[in-house]
């Protein structure tokens, strides 16, 4: 299992478009990937799950990946979240 923390810099947090991009990226990996925010956890491969967390701008989230490609999966998700600046 790989765990990484990342700061959400996107002005709208992880809503609609950014969440859709995350789900698409996460779905390309075999590993189980989830994010944790405010004590709640959601599967990143589920758009409803990601949206239900209500992640806002400047929030610190935890990316957790476990599986065959967990290291790459965690790194790519963190990279994507960091690139979502608007």
82 in active site? no
Q: Please give the structure tokens belonging to residue 26.
A: 């996460």
> CA dist 54 to 2, 48, 65, 67, 69, Å?
23, 10, 20, 26, 27
13 Cα distance to chain centroid? 11
Active-site position among 4, 9, 12, 15: 15
- Give catalytic residues, as residue numbers: 15
């Amino acid at each position: 299992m790989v765990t990484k923390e990342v700061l959400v810099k996107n002005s709208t947090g992880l809503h609609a478009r950014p969440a859709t991009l995350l789900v698409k990226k996460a779905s390309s990996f075999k590993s189980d990937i989830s994010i944790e925010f405010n004590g709640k956890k959601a599967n990143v491969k589920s758009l409803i799950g990601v949206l239900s967390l209500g992640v806002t701008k400047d929030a610190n989230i935890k990316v957790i990946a476990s599986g065959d490609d967990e290291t790459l999966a965690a790194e790519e998700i963190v990279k994507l979240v960091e690139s979502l600046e608007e």
